[in-house]
Amino acid sequence: MANVAVIIVNYNSGAFLKQCLVSLRQSTIPLEIVVVDNGSSDGSADFISKASRVSDCQLIRNLTNLGFAVAVNQGVQSTTAEDVLLINPDCIVQPHSVAGLKLAMQREECGAVGGLVFGFDGREQAGCRRRDPTLARSVVKLLGRWGVRFGLMGVDLTTEPLPVSPIQVDAVSGAFMMIHRESFDAIGGMDEGYFLHFEDLDLCRRLRYAGMPVLFVPTVSVLHCQGASSRERPFRVEWHKHLGMCRYRLKFSQAPQISHWLFRLFVGVHLIWRVCCLVLEGKWKSKMPASGRGASALTTTSSGTVVLGGRNDVAEYLVPRLSGLARTVLVLSRAGERKLFCRSAAVLHPEYLDKVPDDDLPLLEDVICTIPIWHLSKYEGALLRCGVRRLVAFSSTSITTKSDSMDQKEKDVVRRLQEGERWLESFARSNDVACLIVRPTIIYGGHFNRSIRLVQNMIRTLGVFPFHIPENGTRQPIHADDLAQMAVGWINSKVTGVEMVSVAGRDVLSNRSLMELLFRSVGRKLRMLPVRARHVRMLLQYGSWMFRGLLPSPAAIDRLAVDLGQSNDEAIEKFDFAARSFTP
């Protein structure tokens, strides 16, 4: 007999529903699954009909969309298990997730429990732990980061530190909530006066009023693609959300009548604001995740590779190489999937590794760090929890070429590089992690670099370089894909120990040769203004106080006459490294 009845309300969820059912069937405890279809028109109802022929999955079909609350009540009435799990069709659970919630309910005297809900981008979703939405808290939520900055308390608790054990909260998310059947029946089920949104807040509040606490369990997590069912009709969703907000306020607030009118005014203004935002954004639908690639990567049992950082040239070439080897690849980046060129990998916010429960951590034996090496120490705990065994990090030859610089900004860069390398060596030796530290010269070849590509754009726009480059001085740019190939090769070699190597491109180019190639790459002839480097240095020196941090340092002009070539002999001998010729 099933221990838990699972209620899934489906409305045009497409492929997400299938992923949800697959993950549920891998649960460690028996489940009684009920899918209530609210008149879907995308063909997902046909898929559910086929799924219903499989044991432990029942289908209830409504001809029209009756709303979330009505569908939940229908599903609960058709089941017999003592506990009921409400889960959205765009959720993916770990095999132990449902059992974890049930265990929490058995240990604690409560009416309902909810877990830690992550979006497919790896961020904790607002709503999985929250306070009652008073007028003041709703205004703080509308203010967003500004409210948090001033220390104001909003509805969501996602800005609060994650607790280490279950705690009582005002409400948890209806996307992943378990409730005792007796508790559900005692309060009369869900209020069918809500069509969409706020019915979970209403349910949690009535449970608390009946003396049954609501618990948030941080040790159980689920992945949720929020809005997968509603992305095609965003305006209707906003309308019902704001109607639910008004109903909730009128139902529970004991404030004077004038307060209700002020709240209605606030809701009306906010609704107009949201509609205007949707109209101006235009491409709102395309911002929703197109697939569950991130969730699939996180729920796989095989080990994978994590790439720290996504908005850089090395990562742009590295991810396709790793994906081509049939590896599970996770890219940790604050930029998000839409701003990266990593279409073949799951892109997650770094917050995921900080908050995800230990039992839900992906097994990531190989880590390639493309962010500045001095930031790597921030991930020490996550690296250890994920069981990292091999780690590649990119430093820079600036650690030697700028070591004698008198410029404070460059001194700081050298200091941070040295600290990053020292920390990584210590971490690797202390934890028996194989480590490769690569010091490249100037990197080019991708969409993000601010050196070669910046000069190309300047030439393309102006048709001339703004000052005369000295004849002496050499450079040896290295293509980002060469670094990616080297990192993947080292990871696959399964070597041990700690290695450090400096690498450069194949061609040693004089400044003039480099500029000629850059002009040729944009279809122009070499033209440089007759402004000497020393004059540019003076301009940078006097302008640095006005444009602090925006202009290159004067010391960079001094180094134009310095040979910055780098031998690849060590890299060739140890790693069979082969750099390509410079082709901007």
Query: pTM score, two decimals?
Result: 0.81
CB 311 within 8 Å of CB 339: yes
Instruction: Check residue 546 and give its pLDDT.
Output: 58
Cα angle vertex 221, ends 134, 166, to 5°? 60
Instruction: Check residue 494 and give its pLDDT.
Output: 79
Instruction: Check residue 127 and give its pLDDT.
Output: 87
Portion of the chain with pLDDT greater than 90, in percent: 42
Instruction: Check residue 152 and give its pLDDT.
Output: 65
Q: Between 84 and 148, where is the model more confident?
A: 84
Instruction: Check residue 324 and give its pLDDT.
Output: 78
Distance, in Å, from the CA atom of 242 to the CA atom of 579, rounded to the nearest integer, reads 59
Tell me the pLDDT band of 283, cut-offs 50, 70 and 90.
very low
pLDDT digits over 471-485, tens only? 788 999 999 999 999
CATH homologous superfamily for the domain 300-575: NAD(P)-binding Rossmann-like Domain (3.40.50.720)
Q: Decide: residue 2, CB within 10 A, 0-12 exposed, 13-18 middle, 19+ buried.
A: middle
Q: Between 325 and 60, where is the model more confident?
A: 60
- DSSP track, 141-191: HHHTHHHHHTT---SB-TTSPPPSS-EEESB--TTEEEEEHHHHHHTTSS-
Q: Is the pLDDT of residue 549 over 60?
A: no
Tell me the pLDDT band of 297, cut-offs 50, 70 and 90.
low
CA contacts within 13 A on the Cβ side of 342: 32
Fold of 4-229: Spore Coat Polysaccharide Biosynthesis Protein SpsA; Chain A (3.90.550)
Report which of 517, 447, 8 is spatially closest to residue 222, judged by C-alpha positions: 8
Token look-up 């030697």 returns 400
Q: Decide: residue 411, CB within 10 A, 0-12 exposed, 13-18 middle, 19+ buried.
A: middle
pLDDT digits over 197-236, tens only? 889 999 999 999 999 999 999 999 999 987 665 565 676 7
Span 97-103, mean pLDDT? 94
Q: Which letter, b or e, does each residue of 94-125 get, where b requires 16 or more Cβ atoms within 10 Å of its Cβ? A: bbbbbbbbbbbbeeeebbbbbbbbbbbbbbbb
Distance, in Å, from the CA atom of 128 to the CA atom of 311, rounded to the nearest integer, reads 29
